[in-house]
Every structure is written in structure tokens, then in C-alpha cells.
Structure 1
Amino acid sequence: MGGAKKTKQPLGRAAAIGLTKEKIVAEAIQMIDENGLNSFSIRDLGRRLKVYPAAIYWHIGGSKSDLFSEICGGVMADLMTRDEVSDDWRDTLRDLFDRYRARMHAHPHVAPMIGAQMRSNGAPNAPWVEIILDALHQGGLEGEEAIDAFNALVGGAVGFTTMELGGAPDSKEEWEQSLDEKMNALSPEEYPHLTALYPKMRNRAFVTRWKNGSEAPLDTGFRMLVDTLIEGLSARSRKPGHEG
């Protein structure tokens, strides 16, 4: 039998208070900013919005992973528009990753979600992914090589920022003292480079710090990483068969 196709309708109170996917995502980001990712739950989000969890799932999909994907998309929204790309594909990539890191520093508790959990993957990331792929195309990197280049860039920049903003120890003073004791006890004969550089590496390098990037950002290290990746891709683009 024929008939009009039924469409889902928002749950009563959710519709009455004007609940939208955008409102849910914005409130979720604010909760994570305030309390951290580990403390976040759909139930608490529902209480904050004064709706049942079912209303949230109705708007964002059938699982918490769907919400996390939307959160990542919300944090990364408007990172760079097509109108803001540079005439030089290398400058586009530098600018994009600088913006990405700045955005993560503004939302440090979201960084582990984007960098370490596949549930952050999905269509909400499409705008910045397209910009990277277009820049690589301009640099003469196509097909499988473009995919490998994309993975190298995103893995390097996102991984760096995720590590940089990793959780700091509860007692920074105790950790600092313990780290100094253990590092200063190392043998210069066995670890000549580490013992010589440790005074300058203290709290300025991975493995030798007690504060995360929110308090002690690793600016120059990130700049070297991005520049090295882009310079390497640029060198490949100049090989025979490439345009760049």
C-alpha cells in the first residue's frame, strides 16, 4: 500500500527547547574543556541540556562515537576555508597545521580524542582533509604517493600535538625532583649526549618534562617537524615525473 513516508520527529521537550545538533556539540565541547575527556558522559550532557540522552542520540546518531566525531568536526570547523589557501601549497600546509595546533591549545582536552581515537574519524573532518589533498595535488603528489604524504603530515603534526598536550603528573614538583634525580644519576660515559644536553632539555623536550604543552609549549620543535615534512615532500615533488 502507498502512503506518505514517515519521518522521525524530535522528542517532545528537545523540540520545545530548540535542541539542535549544533547546540549539543557546542555544549559537549564546553564540558570537555571544563572537566576533561575522561569525565565526559552522555548522561551528564543530557542533564546539562535538560533532556534525556535519547534526545541527544536522535540528533547526532546512534552512538557516543557519532557524537565524538561531531565534536572533532566542531572543534576543527572553519580551521581554514578555500578562500584562505595560499598560492604556494607549502605555505598552505604550514598555515593549516599552525592553525590546527593553535586550535588544539585552545581545546587541550580534545587533543587525545583527535590524535589517538579512531572514533574521531569521519565526514566532519572533510573540509581540512580536502585542503591538504588539494595542496599535495598542487605539489605534484598524486595517488598512492598523496595518501602516504597525507598520512605523514597528519600523523606527524597531530601526533606531536597530542603528545605535547598529554596529561601532566598530579604533582609537578615531585615529578620534577624525581626526574632530575634519575637523569642526573645517568653515566656520562654510557649516555654522553643525553647527560650533556639534559640541562637544556629539562621541561623543553619529550621524555624530559613535567609540564604539558599548555604550560610549556614546544613551539620550535613543532616548527621543525612541519618544516622538515614539507621540505621533504617538496624535494620529492621536484623529482622527474612531478610538478611543483
Structure 2
Amino acid sequence: MTSKRDKKTGLRGRAATVGLDKAQIVNAAIEQIDQRGLAAFSMRELARTLGVSPAVIYWHVGGRQEDLFAEVSAVITAALADEFEPEQSWQERLRSVFRRYRHLVHQHPKVAPLLGAQMKSNGVANLVWVETVLAALAEAGFAGESLRDAFNVLIGGLSGFVTMELAPPPADDSSGWQQTFAERVESIDAESFPHTHAVLPLISNRIFVLRWQNGADVSYDSSFELLLDIIIDGLTLRAQQQGVSRR
């Protein structure tokens, strides 16, 4: 195997030979996160899997691990606008984009903390996501500070829901964490916490606090749809009150 620099790609060794590109690197990173979780992600392990040095990965995606994470985020969100219909109202477009967002993240649940809770996934790589939401809000008539605030409400509320929904359990459950937690919930005292105890059959392992499984195993569909209705209906009302709605 030659170690000379390939004149066309600027890469050395095997990277030049196999034609490694950014898409391959990002897909391999997603696969590693899917298998091992975000906390266990290793740039060295990713490089080993691809048969290159970490420097080759950095050459393709930028000089920091955060640049790779931004590309991972962009891949997940890039397809958000693929299923829009031209005649859809701004409300229906927003419903569509956030339902699709949730669907895409559920395909890679271990990526969820990166998308919603870590600033390292931010960046211009996510402009499809930003542009899609801003365009719908602008059509509604939001502008200036009201546009900014409406955007933050949507992203914070809905993507934040998905991040909490898919929050990872402890990496090592050898101590029987799930069983222990379930037993503690079951033993909640009726006298000290009467309202909680009264609805335990309904909420046990089904609300974000008193649970030992996440949304990959337990459905939160109805809760997500309620939040979607509340936010979009609220934005519609706010637009009407301000006299800015175009639909």
C-alpha cells in the first residue's frame, strides 16, 4: 500500500485508495452511536473501523469532534422537508416537520441527546432544519422578535420532548436498576403522596419522571401530539391576536 499523497484528493494511504468521503464517515459515526451510545463514542474507534487515522476523519469533517457531531445532526434533519405538499398551510407544514423529526430520531434513538441537549451539534450544517421552520413561521406573519421567540418555542418544546422521551438509561444495568426503580415506584406511600398514588396504574413507567424505560420501549405518541397541538394552536392564536396571520 502506498503512503504517497493522492494528487486529486489530498489524502494519504488507504483513504486515497478506497475513496473515503464525508458521507461514509458520518454514516459510520451514526452506526457507532447506534450500537454503543453517544457517551461511548470514540473518534479513535471510528478511525479504526474505517481503516484510517483520526487525522483523515478530521480532514473530511473539520478539525474537531464537534464538527463531526454537527454533520451527524445534519444527516438526521436533512430529510425533514421531503414530504411537504405545496398546498399545506404553515400549521400543517410545522406538524409534518416535527412528526417527521420525531420519526427520524426514533430510527436512531441514541443520537437524541446530541440533537436536543448538546450545543456541540449546533452549526450551519443544520440550516435545512432552521430554514424550514423559519419559512413556515414567516408565512404565518411572525417577524422580528416574535419570529425568534416562536422559533425557540417550537424547537425547545418539540425537539426537547423527543430528547427527554429518548433519554438513555444507565449504560450498565448489571445492578438491576430497572427492577429496583420499578419497585420504588410501586411502593410510593399513599398518605404522603395521595394524588400520585391514586394514578400510579396510569403513570407508572409512562411519565418522564417515574419511569425505567424510555420512548424506544414505551409509547409517548399521545403526549407528543398533545404538545404539538398546544404549541401550534397557541402560535396560531398569537398570530391572530397580533394581526399578523396570513392564513
Whether contact under 8 Å (1:21, 1:60) holds in the other structure is: yes
Letter in 2 for 1:178: R
In the superposition, relative to structure 1, how do residues 195 and 114 fare at CA in structure 2: closer, same or farther (>3 Å)?
same
**Greater CA deviation, 124-133 or 7-16?**
7-16
**Counterpart of 1:108?**
109
Alpha-carbon distance between aligned partners in 1 of 2:10 and 2:139, rounded to the nearest angstrom = 45
In the superposition, relative to structure 1, how do residues 92 and 217 fare at CA in structure 2: closer, same or farther (>3 Å)?
same
In the superposition, relative to structure 1, how do residues 86 and 203 fare at CA in structure 2: closer, same or farther (>3 Å)?
farther
**Counterpart of 1:233?**
235
- Is 2:172 the partner of 1:196? no
1:82 shift after superposition: 8.0
Show structure 1 runs of 4+ deviating over 6 A: none
- Is 2:57 the partner of 1:56? yes
Whether contact under 8 Å (1:82, 1:131) holds in the other structure is: no
The root-mean-square deviation of aligned C-alpha atoms, in Å, is 1.9
TM-score of the superposition, structure 1-length normalised? 0.90
Residues 211-234 of structure 1 show CA distances to partners (whole Å, capped at 9, x for unaligned) of 110000211111111110000000
In the superposition, relative to structure 1, how do residues 74 and 55 fare at CA in structure 2: closer, same or farther (>3 Å)?
same
Which ranges in structure 2 are unaligned for 5 or more consecutive residues?
1-6
Whether contact under 8 Å (1:29, 1:75) holds in the other structure is: no
Whether contact under 8 Å (2:9, 2:16) holds in the other structure is: no
Alpha-carbon distance between aligned partners in 2 of 1:176 and 1:86, rounded to the nearest angstrom = 48
**Counterpart of 2:74?**
73
**Counterpart of 2:181?**
175
Alpha-carbon distance between aligned partners in 1 of 2:23 and 2:9, rounded to the nearest angstrom = 18
**Counterpart of 2:18?**
17
Residues 88-126 of structure 1 show CA distances to partners (whole Å, capped at 9, x for unaligned) of 111111111111111111101100011111010011211
Partner-residue secondary structure (3-state), 2:149: helix
Residues 161-205 of structure 1 show CA distances to partners (whole Å, capped at 9, x for unaligned) of 111111225232222112211x2x142xx5443222222111111
Aligned length: 235
Alpha-carbon distance between aligned partners in 2 of 1:39 and 1:84, rounded to the nearest angstrom = 40
Whether contact under 8 Å (1:165, 1:212) holds in the other structure is: yes
1:83 shift after superposition: 5.2
Letter in 1 for 2:157: G
In the superposition, relative to structure 1, how do residues 118 and 33 fare at CA in structure 2: closer, same or farther (>3 Å)?
same
Whether contact under 8 Å (1:69, 1:120) holds in the other structure is: yes
**Counterpart of 1:3?**
none
**Counterpart of 2:3?**
none
Identity %: 44
Whether contact under 8 Å (1:164, 1:217) holds in the other structure is: no
Whether contact under 8 Å (2:113, 2:167) holds in the other structure is: yes
Alpha-carbon distance between aligned partners in 2 of 1:95 and 1:220, rounded to the nearest angstrom = 16
Which ranges in structure 1 are unaligned for 5 or more consecutive residues?
1-5
TM-score of the superposition, structure 2-length normalised? 0.89
**Greater CA deviation, 168-177 or 37-46?**
168-177
Matches within 5 A, 1:1-244: 9-81=10-82, 84=85, 86-169=87-170, 170=173, 171=176, 172-181=178-187, 183=188, 185-187=189-191, 191-244=193-246
